[in-house]
């Protein structure tokens, strides 16, 4: 997902590795180490997704710019399905942050996909709670409360998705 996050930011404008790291930290609230970022940038340059040049104002700093091939890779990654799992919420967070580069219909599709994922979380959490309630033990009480949290968070996300879709619809009429 780091690749998509970097390409998404480069779709906006060229950046140095330092500024990309700061953006990723502030946007996704997760830190990517320089030991992970710079090898990724090197790999992306080797693959032809970006070009890196010295900054004219500060020659020791390198600025990365997305190429046409990199833009194609960005759209390919945006269309790739997200599997439900440990990092699916992070993947959706990245896609939602950079989806402004997609056609409007694909933005709505992404929001529907995210909505489906939240409904799956709710269904799974309810099933887990029901199983836990059949066997009343002390640790099951805490596990059940954790499922309550999952349900609440997913429901809040569903509400946010509906509001976002309404906002996109309103903006569409302004464009």
Residue in 64, 46, 164 with CA at minimum distance from that of residue 115: 164
Token representation of residue 132: 């836990």
- List 55's β-bridge partners, or say none: 58
Residue in 134, 144, 145, 71 with CA at minimum distance from that of residue 101: 71
Structure confidence at residue 20 (pLDDT)? 94
Task: Please say if the pLDDT value at position 86 is more than 70.
Answer: no
**Distance between first and last Cα of the chain:** 31
Q: How far apart are the C-alpha atoms of 97 and 85, rounded to whole Å?
A: 20
Structure confidence at residue 52 (pLDDT)? 95
Task: Please say if the pLDDT value at position 169 is more than 70.
Answer: yes
Could you read off the pLDDT of 29-61 as tens digits, one per residue?
A: 778 888 999 999 999 999 999 999 998 888 889
Largest CA distance in the chain: 67
Which CATH topology does 1-79 take?
Arc Repressor Mutant, subunit A (1.10.10)
Helix (H, G, I), strand (E, B) or coil at 15: strand
Say which DSSP state 39 is in.
Answer: H
Q: What's the pTM value of the predicted model, to 2 decimals?
A: 0.87
The domain locations on the chain are: 1-79, 103-173
Count Cα neighbours of 169 within 13 Å in the Cβ-side half-sphere.
7
């Amino acid at each position: 997902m780091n690749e998509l996050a970097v390409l998404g930011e480069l779709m906006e404008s060229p950046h140095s590795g330092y500024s990309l790291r700061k953006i990723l930290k502030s946007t996704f609230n997760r830190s990517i180490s320089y030991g992970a970022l710079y090898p990724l940038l090197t790999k992306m340059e080797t693959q032809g997704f970006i070009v890196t040049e010295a900054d004219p104002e500060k020659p020791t700093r390198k600025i990365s710019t997305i190429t046409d091939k990199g833009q194609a890779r960005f759209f390919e990654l945006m269309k790739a399905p997200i599997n439900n799992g440990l990092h699916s919420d992070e993947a959706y967070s990245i896609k939602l942050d950079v989806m402004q580069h997609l056609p409007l219909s694909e933005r709505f599709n992404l929001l529907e996909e995210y909505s489906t994922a939240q409904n799956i979380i709710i269904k799974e959490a309810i099933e887990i709670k029901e199983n836990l309630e059949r066997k009343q033990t002390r640790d099951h009480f805490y596990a059940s409360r954790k499922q309550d949290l999952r349900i609440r968070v997913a429901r809040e996300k569903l509400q946010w998705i509906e509001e976002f879709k309404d906002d996109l619809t309103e903006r569409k009429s302004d464009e």
